[in-house]
Copies of this chain bind each other. A is one copy, B any other.
Amino acid sequence: MTGFIFDRVAIIGFGLIGSSLARAVKASGTARTIVACDSSTAARATIARLGLADTVTDDPAVAVDGADLVVLATPLGAYAEIARRIAPALAHGAIVSDVGSVKGPVTRDLPPLLPSHVRLVPGHPVAGTENSGPESGFETLFKGRWCILTPLPGTDPEAVRKVSELWQACGSLIEIMEPEHHDKVLAITSHLPHLIAYTIVGTAANLEEDAQSEVIKFSASGFRDFTRIAASDPTMWRDVFLNNREAVLEMLQRFTEDLTALQRAIRRGEGDTLFDLFSRTRDIRRRIIDAHQA
């Protein structure tokens, strides 16, 4: 068992993130056994076919049996039901973590649903693609990307350390953050961009059919990048917006104000205002490239 950080890792919800985690954990040899749990028959068949886990089940309670790490990787809306089902089956001292894109509700709502002997270390690997399902995952998804952990004060430091080590073995960089702060940062870096991409693609989808064909034909001019983002999993994103409502609405308000100002500049033909903004935004891009997150 040398090198193993965990003996048995149960991953509940085996989509893009869950299956990528399984692949990375397997490749890095940081767990002896990987248990996959997914409610979809098709997903379980794919997991078995691709050999992504040592055991595959549709029952969360069976999955967590004997696991020293349980990772929730379903859409956020399924957490409460899963917590209720796994609670009686969780091993004493097991670590429960997750990969959800909103951290406030998880950190607040899960503890009362779990036995007090388990240790909760909520997490969010800041990585992904627009693809969904176990077949879309890949081993290097987390490489060089940040994984944010949001443990409550008083959480066993040993549990936080072990979860950190697991993600580091998968190639991630670790950041510890308060859950509410996480939700504000992600509102602007992730949730608002997705909301806007969904909106503009929806606006195009509302055009008459002729115009739609042209939108598709000439999408290489900018639009197609939005369609990639707007192809992300609908259930996951519905739950993100329902769970991070306040921070998203606050950022959306700022965005709308800025868009209104730009709209006025275009209407008035104020070229300097446009040029100044368009120059300023280039700097942010340069900083992202410098930070190796491009």
A-to-B contact residues, CB < 8 Å? 77, 101, 126-128, 130, 145-146, 148, 175, 185-186, 188-207, 211-212, 214-232, 234-235, 237-239, 241-242, 245, 248-249, 251-252, 254-256, 258-259, 262-263, 266-267, 269, 271, 274-275, 277-288, 291, 293-294
Nearest CB of B to A254, in Å: 5
A275 near B130 with CB under 8 A, answer no
A231 touches B285 (CB 8 A): yes
A239 to B288, CA, bound (A): 26
8 closest A-B pairs (Cβ-Cβ)? A190-B221, A234-B278, A231-B285, A193-B222, A230-B281, A201-B281, A189-B223, A227-B285
Q: Known contacts being A203-B251, A271-B242, is A185 close to B258, with CB within 8 Å?
A: no
Residues of B within 8 A of A229 (CB): 222, 225
Q: What separation, in Å, do the CA atoms of A262 and B206 have in the docked complex?
A: 14
Q: Which of A200, A221, A241 has the most CB of B within 10 A?
A: A221
Contact B203 A188 (CB under 8 A): yes
Chain B residue nearest to A282 in the complex (CB): B231
